Chains A and B, each alone.
Chain A
């Protein structure tokens, strides 16, 4: 571990990067709740400061070779020592830059989107809280600190999903997201505690040394890694716990763009990348990650091809892409996964913000209705949508193409070809559902009377943000090599093999993506298109996909049968009948015995007389007996 020796400039910069959003959050909630403009200004200013600080750090440490950490003792108890502070390495700084950039852009965009909302100040307060928690999460040097901000991020996610809490479905969705991610977090916490008891320190750098950690048997390391992966499953909405994310689309669209696609759900993948050397030491844990990522990717992809809600399509694609990143990381492609994380943050935020503009303009989430109202026109928004969709589908020259190719290369390097096939199937599905959505939205024939609904003030701000993000999406792919060098620079210890791009694979992947796009064009895009997907020829299958593989229903049934009717029922019974009932009955028995006993000494003179007479009778009988003998 490398201790301190950090210039005070760095220290203050990190402080400047992390603390302003917290100050903005507190200030808005305490002083400026009734003043929307001041709140928005504060919040955007704070995140702007963070962005500047992040950019400064990135430039200053572009050629960094060893991670910097600055920590102070927090808890010291016996063998256990937990510290707080910050850690700077390429991954952290990259993620910091991504988070602050997307946060900044989304907050600016929200000026238009949330304009006139009664909870405008509250919205910006929550956004600041989220930004602070996310930035601190990214900078955490220990798992314990990371866990604290992990939970804070979950909290702000809950608050923002349920932002329109008057809406019943929104508050329900917030609750569902909170509970399901909590379920994963329990595993995460258990994993942290397991590692703490064995190592005595939750230090990330200690875990990431790349060699087996002292005091940690391979078995324990594998179990710990799997438990931590449980937290990742919850946060990144992977296979068993994925159903909260589509429901989380009840929140405002910028929130979906920021939290539920670009940054917060990516925290799970970030954690996997953060602990990549640790995970890569236990092959069984990596195999688990790989399978979970694959299953999530395919499940979400199939659900997306039948969804009619524009945000839900994007939510499924988020799950699918996160699964894809986890696949890439689990296959050993550290920089591939991280690079896809970065590009994904950009183009997914772009897609969501485009969707936000469309929803804002047409007041509906349904892609067919949006298409009908939008007509066959090309506007800046639709152009941005095409750019984002192209990136998502992995079409040259958009950023997604480069990162997807890297992951594909990693998958191809695995012994078992099934992973590569699954990856290609996922790519096909992705291209198909993305362009299905885009073609429906953009190339539907306009229904009569459907014109531009209303002209929102600050529309230009929203479109401007879309432009910036489109530019990023277009350009980012060409920084691939520079980013990779930057990422690898800080972790000399990691022996990641660099698999070169084989032209065959490149062509295959691109061809598959393009064929997905073409199928979508054939079914939805051209003028005489039937507007029905190939899946809808099989209603049972379509229904199966639309119901998210009956995962929610399974949970409902599981909760009803096992939890309510099983565990909780018997616990209640036990509580009512045995514990309470026992105490009651004991008390009743005591009271009863007391009453009976009291009757004997109470004023029942006659009872006593009866006893006396009885005793006299017995005595008499005794005398008779004596005399008679």
Chain B
């Protein structure tokens, strides 16, 4: 016997919320991407817990897709970030298209 299911869910929720905070508050494209990774990770955890709770392997099966999507997203995202950085010299999301960068 481990822990009740919803304890795991709550923990995954905390993790997801941390990811959201990271995405919203950091002025850096890389950090935004990292926040997304944290959120995906929390989601994967919730899937595994639900699989265990239901006694089925289905939950674990989804995790592999989550991982694949995360990998794809990160590689493409990082490629984009490097391109943007080369063109604009910054990774601040506000500076890339708008001219309000210097205001802060």
Find out whether A and B make contact in their complex, taking CB atoms under 8 A apart as touching. yes
Is B23 an interface position by the 8 A CB rule? Answer: yes
Output the least CB separation between A617 and chain B (Å). 10
Please tell me which stretch of A65-73, A406-414, A596-604 contacts chain B, meaning at least 4 of its Cβ atoms lie within 8 angstroms of it.
A596-604
Residues of A near B27 (CB, < 8 A) are: 606
Tell me whether B24 and A604 are in contact (CB under 8 A): no
Q: B94 touches which one: A603, A609, A610 (CB < 8 A)?
A: A603
B 53-88 contacts with A by CB, 8 A: none
Tell me whether B98 and A606 are in contact (CB under 8 A): no
Is A613 an interface position by the 8 A CB rule? Answer: yes
Q: A599 touches which one: B20, B29, B100 (CB < 8 A)?
A: B100
Residues of A near B98 (CB, < 8 A) are: 598-599, 602-604
Is B8 an interface position by the 8 A CB rule? Answer: no
In the assembly, what is the distance between CA of A605 and CA of B31, in Å? 12
A 516-536 contacts with B by CB, 8 A: none
Tell me whether A605 and B20 are in contact (CB under 8 A): no
In the assembly, what is the distance between CA of A598 and CA of B94, in Å? 12
Tell me whether A606 and B32 are in contact (CB under 8 A): yes
Output the least CB separation between A595 and chain B (Å). 9
Output the least CB separation between A613 and chain B (Å). 6
Tell me whether A606 and B20 are in contact (CB under 8 A): no
Output the least CB separation between A71 and chain B (Å). 72
- Report whether over half of chain A's contact residues are helix, strand or loop; otherwise say mixed: helix
- Report whether over half of chain B's contact residues are helix, strand or loop; otherwise say mixed: helix
Closest to B29 in A: A605
Is B97 an interface position by the 8 A CB rule? Answer: yes
Closest to B36 in A: A609
Tell me whether B96 and A613 are in contact (CB under 8 A): no
Tell me whether A605 and B32 are in contact (CB under 8 A): yes
Residues of B near A603 (CB, < 8 A) are: 93-94, 96-98
Name the interface size band of chain B.
10 to 19
In the assembly, what is the distance between CA of A597 and CA of B66, in Å? 35
Residues of A near B20 (CB, < 8 A) are: 613
Tell me whether B100 and A606 are in contact (CB under 8 A): no
Closest to B26 in A: A606
Residues of B near A610 (CB, < 8 A) are: 24
B 19-37 contacts with A by CB, 8 A: 20, 23-24, 27, 29, 32
Tell me whether A604 and B94 are in contact (CB under 8 A): yes
Residues of B near A609 (CB, < 8 A) are: 23-24
In the assembly, what is the distance between CA of A613 and CA of B29, in Å? 18
Output the least CB separation between A607 and chain B (Å). 9
A 552-608 contacts with B by CB, 8 A: 598-599, 602-606
For A599, A604, A606, A613, which residue has the most chain B Cβ atoms within 10 angstroms? A606
Q: A602 touches which one: B24, B29, B97 (CB < 8 A)?
A: B97
Output the least CB separation between B13 and chain A (Å). 11
In the assembly, what is the distance between CA of A610 and CA of B32, in Å? 12
In the assembly, what is the distance between CA of A606 and CA of B98, in Å? 13
Output the least CB separation between A51 and chain B (Å). 79
In the assembly, what is the distance between CA of A139 and CA of B93, in Å? 84
Output the least CB separation between A611 and chain B (Å). 11
A609-B23, A609-B24 known, 12 other contacts, Cβ within 8 Å: A602-B98, A603-B94, A603-B97, A603-B98, A604-B93, A604-B94, A605-B29, A605-B93, A606-B23, A606-B27, A606-B93, A610-B24
A binding-site residues for B, Cβ under 8 Å: 598-599, 602-606, 609-610, 613
Q: List 23 A-B contacts (CB under 8 A).
A: A598-B98, A599-B98, A599-B100, A602-B97, A602-B98, A603-B93, A603-B94, A603-B96, A603-B97, A603-B98, A604-B93, A604-B94, A605-B29, A605-B32, A605-B93, A606-B32, A606-B93, A606-B94, A609-B23, A609-B24, A610-B24, A613-B20, A613-B24
